[in-house]
Copies of this chain bind each other. A is one copy, B any other.
Amino acid sequence: MSPKITTELLRQLRQVMKSSKYVTEPIQAYIVPSGDAHQSEYIAPCDCRRAFISGFDGSAGTAIITEQKAAMWTDGRYFLQAAQQIDSNWTLMKMGLKDTPTQEDWLVSVLPEGSKVGVDPFIIPADQWKRMSKALKSAGHVLVPVKENLIDAIWMDRPQRPCKPLITLDLSYTGIGWKEKIAALRAKMVERKVLWLVVTALDEVSWLFNLRGSDVEYNPVFFAYAVIGTDTIRLFISGDRMADPSTREHLLLDSSLEAEFKIQVVPYESVLTELQAICVGLSPKEKVWLSDKASYALTEAIPKAHRYLTPCTPICIAKAVKNAAEIEGMRRAHIKDAVALCELFNWLEKEVPKGSVTEISAADKAEEFRSQQNDFVDLSFATISSTGPNGAIIHYKPVPETNRALSGNEIYLLDSGAQYKDGTTDVTRTMHFGTPSAYEKECFTYVLKGHIAVSAAVFPNGTKGHLLDSFARSALWDCGLDYLHGTGHGVGCFLNVHEGPCGISYKTFADEPLEAGMIVSDEPGYYEDESFGIRIENVVLVIPAKTKYNFSNRGSLTFEPLTLVPIQTKMINVPLLTQKECDWVNDYHRKCREVIGAELKSQGRHEALQWLLRETEPITKMH
């Protein structure tokens, strides 16, 4: 991988930083954040501005360019990749290391007195603006919003914003019609005494209107905002998408309808001016509800006295708690996904010994098997297919330069998932196609114990996911081992594979309590640098638990695995398991046999069925 040569681009950027065409007064620094105007985790090519200016295309990182310097902040997952992708014009700022300055501190240390620092107000979240602005101000500088994006100004061949066709989802998939969702939302707005709600997250707009898109790779969303009033609905979306008859019918655009459900379609770009117009008409004490993670531009458009900011919009929570139809859909999706993986692992078992399978061809084969399943739409993220030392790179994606052949001598880790019209999957299995070493089995078994500890945990209603994180680590900790990532994330239903507001991580303190109907991943791991990686991941559904007692009538919760793919028993050091853990493995495999076995049979996939039966033989603890 050779770095991108950015000398000329930086020269051009520094020119526009002083050009009155773009800025009223010259700015001495320009911040290029990672996200898009919707604060998405994954972004479209037209929004990859930081990658364009620097060459570094990881999912997290902020670039700051001053008159003399250029610096790139990123986290531990990307130190190596960023170092390879940026040229000598750039300084790499390794976040989390002791001596790395924060962006604020660095700016203060390099800026001439009384400097102006610019940023696109649509790209920077309001909370980050606030922190940065405060720090700069106290050092005598000022953070200024620059309306026109300066990267766009020098990006000649910038891709168009995607505007792909929409998919409409009927009640059999969504369980609740969009009118009903809007009515429920308005009830929440009345409860909180707000008059308006601004929806900025792409997956929230998609969920609310029961529409899907494909504007962002792997994420079935489309570029749009929505503003919901007590009797109006405005959908900000580029108009030509609304030409499609099935979309028009789905949204009842041509039907006579109660006024409060009549959707006004407004151009995507006009969201700011429309919001400003709404705010002009507000009486004192009338409030507008917005996520506190929304862009500075939209937040600022609402006068302070009218702002009602929360970490979580009511849509975010409603979306996280899946209804019966969504749960059914997620079950179906996971059954189909398991069928594809049984096929894949059966195929790998035969092909790997021949030496012809690589990380890339295995990933392709997984996609091929998945695409054979009903309602398959796309993958849900870039497949992590890694063998041996590549497995220790947590966010590994095989490319020709690193592509490695699978063999009987190395652990193989496959973290993959798909988007089906009825649900989203995300599953990791770690396999050995030869004879694993005692140490590999030992580590695998600790990871499995952690996986089971979370999956089988019983906990009171109202418990936040981060309180369960240590359960996943306890067996590893006992032996001095650990893994440097969270244990689980929320999973959307035919939506983003990472979604808030719940999760299981030592880091997440702003997570919402777990509720029955929420769906999260359970994915502890262990990674030995330059040697191997182990991760065992199921997607699990939060369900009520039956307990012997019921303290304070609070009720209890536990998890039910939706993922039903065998866990390779060859990798287990059975004596390290307790009897309860043994029983868990055998119960889980019995369920895989029953549910996935039936589906394999009905799809006529007999060889994969035989593989499943072999792989789900019960294990026994010697006494």
Would you mind naming 27 contact pairs between A and B with Cβ atoms under 8 Å apart?
A: A138-B304, A138-B305, A459-B470, A459-B473, A459-B477, A460-B480, A460-B482, A467-B469, A467-B470, A467-B506, A468-B470, A470-B471, A471-B474, A478-B547, A479-B547, A479-B548, A479-B549, A480-B545, A480-B547, A480-B548, A480-B549, A480-B551, A480-B556, A481-B549, A482-B552, A482-B554, A578-B578
Binding site for B on A (CB under 8 A): 138, 304-305, 457-460, 467-471, 473-474, 476-482, 506, 509, 545, 547-552, 554, 556, 578
Nearest CB in chain B to that of A578: its residue: B578
Contacting residues, chain B, for A470 (C-beta < 8 A): 459, 467-468, 470-471
Distance in Å from the Cβ of A570 to the closest Cβ of chain B?
A: 22
Q: In whole angstroms, what is the CA distance A506 to B469 when docked?
A: 12
Nearest CB in chain B to that of A443: its residue: B549
Q: In whole angstroms, what is the CA distance A552 to B529 when docked?
A: 10
Q: In whole angstroms, what is the CA distance A66 to B506 when docked?
A: 43
Nearest CB in chain B to that of A479: its residue: B548
Contacting residues, chain B, for A545 (C-beta < 8 A): 480
Distance in Å from the Cβ of A114 to the closest Cβ of chain B?
A: 14
Contact in complex: A474, B457 (CB < 8 Å): yes
Contacting residues, chain B, for A554 (C-beta < 8 A): 482
Our pick among B477, B550, B578 for the contact of A480 (Cβ within 8 Å) is: B550
Distance in Å from the Cβ of A522 to the closest Cβ of chain B?
A: 15
Contacting residues, chain B, for A471 (C-beta < 8 A): 470, 474
Given the interface contacts A138-B305, A304-B138, A470-B471, does A478 sit within 8 Å of B458 by beta carbon? Answer: yes
Q: In whole angstroms, what is the CA distance A138 to B285 when docked?
A: 11
Contacting residues, chain B, for A459 (C-beta < 8 A): 470, 473, 477
Q: In whole angstroms, what is the CA distance A551 to B474 when docked?
A: 14
Contacting residues, chain B, for A551 (C-beta < 8 A): 476, 480-482
Contacting residues, chain B, for A473 (C-beta < 8 A): 459
Contacting residues, chain B, for A468 (C-beta < 8 A): 470
Contacting residues, chain B, for A506 (C-beta < 8 A): 467
Q: In whole angstroms, what is the CA distance A518 to B478 when docked?
A: 20
Q: In whole angstroms, what is the CA distance A305 to B476 when docked?
A: 46
Distance in Å from the Cβ of A181 to the closest Cβ of chain B?
A: 25
Distance in Å from the Cβ of A588 to the closest Cβ of chain B?
A: 19
Q: In whole angstroms, what is the CA distance A469 to B474 when docked?
A: 12
Contacting residues, chain B, for A556 (C-beta < 8 A): 477, 480
Distance in Å from the Cβ of A456 to the closest Cβ of chain B?
A: 9
Nearest CB in chain B to that of A484: its residue: B552
Most buried by B among A474, A506, A578: A474
Contact in complex: A457, B477 (CB < 8 Å): yes
Q: In whole angstroms, what is the CA distance A4 to B459 when docked?
A: 42
Distance in Å from the Cβ of A339 to the closest Cβ of chain B?
A: 34
Contacting residues, chain B, for A482 (C-beta < 8 A): 460, 551-552, 554
Q: In whole angstroms, what is the CA distance A179 to B468 when docked?
A: 45
Q: In whole angstroms, what is the CA distance A138 to B458 when docked?
A: 43
Most buried by B among A305, A482, A509, A554: A482
Contacting residues, chain B, for A304 (C-beta < 8 A): 138
Give 9 new A-B contacts, CB below 8 A, not counting A458-B480, A480-B545: A459-B473, A460-B480, A460-B482, A467-B469, A468-B470, A471-B474, A479-B548, A481-B549, A578-B578
Distance in Å from the Cβ of A286 to the closest Cβ of chain B?
A: 15
Contacting residues, chain B, for A481 (C-beta < 8 A): 549, 551
Q: In whole angstroms, what is the CA distance A458 to B506 when docked?
A: 16
Distance in Å from the Cβ of A557 to the closest Cβ of chain B?
A: 10
Nearest CB in chain B to that of A464: its residue: B506
Contacting residues, chain B, for A547 (C-beta < 8 A): 478-480
Contacting residues, chain B, for A476 (C-beta < 8 A): 551
Distance in Å from the Cβ of A452 to the closest Cβ of chain B?
A: 13
Contacting residues, chain B, for A478 (C-beta < 8 A): 458, 547
Q: In whole angstroms, what is the CA distance A572 to B315 when docked?
A: 48
Q: In whole angstroms, what is the CA distance A488 to B464 when docked?
A: 19
Nearest CB in chain B to that of A553: its residue: B480
Contacting residues, chain B, for A474 (C-beta < 8 A): 457, 471
Distance in Å from the Cβ of A230 to the closest Cβ of chain B?
A: 23
Q: In whole angstroms, what is the CA distance A287 to B468 when docked?
A: 41
Q: In whole angstroms, what is the CA distance A230 to B78 when docked?
A: 41
Contacting residues, chain B, for A467 (C-beta < 8 A): 469-470, 506
Q: In whole angstroms, what is the CA distance A556 to B545 when docked?
A: 34
Q: In whole angstroms, what is the CA distance A459 to B477 when docked?
A: 5
Distance in Å from the Cβ of A245 to the closest Cβ of chain B?
A: 47
Nearest CB in chain B to that of A439: its residue: B549
Contacting residues, chain B, for A480 (C-beta < 8 A): 458, 460, 545, 547-551, 556
Contacting residues, chain B, for A457 (C-beta < 8 A): 474, 477
